[in-house]
Structure 1
Amino acid sequence: MDGQTIFDALVLGIVEGLTEFIPVSSTGHLLLLGHFLGFESTGKTFEVLIQLGAILAILTVYAGRLWKIAVALPSDQNARLFVLGILLAFLPAAVIGVMAHKFIKEVLFESPALICTTLLLGGFVLLWVDKIELKPRYTNVMDYPLWLCFVIGVFQCLAMVPGVSRSGATIAGALLLGTDKRSAAEFSFFLAMPTMVGAFAYDLFKNRDVLSADDATLIAIGFVASFIAGVFVVRGLLDFVSRHGFAPFAYWRIIVGLAGFAGLYLVG
């Protein structure tokens, strides 16, 4: 393991933390950037496992609120329904992720052109969703009905295709189903916790026999970098979305998608 590989892992970890919670596809960015850097991880585990660092950022920032929900569970029906809603939203991705794991890792993750395409298409979709006039009926994640949580979870499954964006799919789905922008982004935060922990545990289990000490070192570097970068994003994202909406992220997706196609054309 040389210094360049360590530097690449650090850069990719920062990119993961900066992009995990915004609707631009952290996985798409990691795979595309890794392709041009020549970064290869064993079984594409690095790109999945370092996401837990970003999830730890949510747990750190939302620790007080999560504790209040946990304490309220025995006596507060709203708290119990909220937790049940998150679990229902997580269920579709858990089932499809297990069933399609091999296809996702060995086929979809290995197609930079597909990632560029989904980044572009997702950017146009997000731009359309951000501009249409929607009348929110749900503005508090604690009041989301169970059916709404489950359908948002179905939207999350679109992110099995790299470049679609887990947060982008859930946010766009939530907005189309009648939520406001701030609560849609916040629900995506909460849904990320079981989703990413589940992805981490399953991917680690599937690749436990092929990971080396060097792999573990790179993952640790990426994990720490994604955690630190993720803290900054989580702290400021909701206020940013309230002021500016999702159009800036849509334009970023389009720029990255076009740049990716240009890079593939020029250097392969």
Structure 2
Amino acid sequence: MEIIDAIILGIIQGLTEFLPVSSSGHLELGKAILGDHSVPEESLLFTVVLHFATALSTMVVFRKDIISLIIGALKFKWNEDLQFMAKIAVSMIPAVAIGLFFEKQLEQLFSGNILLVGSMLIITGILLFLADKARNTNKEVSFMNAFVIGISQAIAMLPGISRSGATISTSVLLGNDKTKAARFSFLMVVPLIFGKIAKDVLSGELTYNSGNFTTLSIGFIAAFVAGLFACTWMISLVRRSKLTYFAVYCAIVGLIAIIYTFFN
């Protein structure tokens, strides 16, 4: 993989992990356009590095929240912080179950299936449009809400379904406060990303070649910086009900991807 490709894919991952346009779908489109011919092991390692970068950017943006949650949980009282962490744990159940029992089936979908990506992007656009029209409230995410949002996160494992778009939209459509919905959406994915990274590392499927260090490092930096920007921007966009623009974007890119498959 060329350095310029690593930069482009890193920026795509950093932006689309938080902006509601599907990071997995855009990475598949980006690889198809750039003609990425990396062997599966190299491609997997690069993907893991990019996800690690965006997880770190989330932790930087929400560092005060994370520190507060940890301090509150260490009091060992059923307080608001411990309840919030418990809700995150509940939200992880569907995605963990899908990841454990259907991992191979999911991996088969990430093989340049542009038609699937395009179709799922259109569905993401519809979800965003509906969420943007929802009335804002002061409602907190409940335990039942957390589980339903977790189901959305599991469905977002499909390439083209935006994880942030699906989870934030679901949360808002359930009547939750938009800012709180975005905060919950971004924090709920951090333990999942680190869990997936740990699983990939322990599986022994990752192979590292010292010759790829520069490419991996540049991709990491690009994804981290883009992630910092996108995460902060997305919180503001959700609060100001500006998701319709992304709904239109997803619909357009989805249609282009579908048309692309019929001419190639």
Structures share fold, TM-score greater than 0.5: yes
Q: 1:127 aligns with which of 126, 129, 146?
A: 129
1:38 matched residue in structure 2? 35
1:83 matched residue in structure 2? 85
Alignment of 1:236-247 (within 5 A): 236-247=233-244
Q: Distance in 2 between matches of 1:120 and 1:211?
A: 36
Contact 2:68 2:81 in 1 (8 A): no
Farther off after superposition, 36-45 or 185-194: 36-45
1:83: how far off? 0.7
Alignment of 1:57-206 (within 5 A): 57-75=57-75, 77-131=79-133, 133-134=134-135, 136=137, 138=139, 143-206=140-203
2:230 is paired with a residue whose SS is helix
What amino acid sits opposite 2:130 in the alignment?
W
Q: Distance in 2 between matches of 1:265 and 1:33?
A: 18
Number of residue pairs the alignment of both structures matches: 259
Contact 1:49 1:219 in 2 (8 A): yes
Contact 1:41 1:215 in 2 (8 A): no
Contact 1:13 1:225 in 2 (8 A): yes
What amino acid sits opposite 2:72 in the alignment?
A
Percent pairwise identity: 34
2:156 is paired with a residue whose SS is helix
Q: Distance in 1 between matches of 2:227 and 2:71?
A: 26
Over 3 Å counting, the alpha-carbon distance change for 1:109 and 1:203 in structure 2 is farther
1:181: how far off? 1.9
Over 3 Å counting, the alpha-carbon distance change for 1:135 and 1:20 in structure 2 is closer
Alignment of 1:220-259 (within 5 A): 220-259=217-256
Over 3 Å counting, the alpha-carbon distance change for 1:263 and 1:206 in structure 2 is farther
Q: Distance in 1 between matches of 2:214 and 2:107?
A: 21
2:104 is paired with a residue whose SS is helix
Over 3 Å counting, the alpha-carbon distance change for 1:209 and 1:71 in structure 2 is closer
1:131-155 CA-to-partner distances (Å, cap 9, x unmatched) read 2x446361xxxx4322221221111
Q: Distance in 1 between matches of 2:162 and 2:155?
A: 8
Over 3 Å counting, the alpha-carbon distance change for 1:230 and 1:82 in structure 2 is same
What amino acid sits opposite 2:36 in the alignment?
F
Farther off after superposition, 213-222 or 144-153: 213-222
Contact 1:17 1:228 in 2 (8 A): yes
Q: Distance in 1 between matches of 2:238 and 2:172?
A: 13
TM-score, normalization: structure 1? 0.88
1:26 matched residue in structure 2? 23
What amino acid sits opposite 2:137 in the alignment?
P
1:81-100 CA-to-partner distances (Å, cap 9, x unmatched) read 11111111112111211221
Q: Which consecutive residues of structure 1, in runs of 5 or more, have no partner in the other structure?
A: none
1:107: how far off? 3.2
What amino acid sits opposite 1:164 in the alignment?
I
Q: Distance in 1 between matches of 2:83 and 2:171?
A: 18
TM-score, normalization: structure 2? 0.89
Quote the RMSD (CA, aligned, Å). Answer: 2.1
Task: State the 4+ residue runs in structure 1 displaced beyond 4 angstroms.
Answer: 214-217
Over 3 Å counting, the alpha-carbon distance change for 1:161 and 1:13 in structure 2 is same
1:165: how far off? 1.2
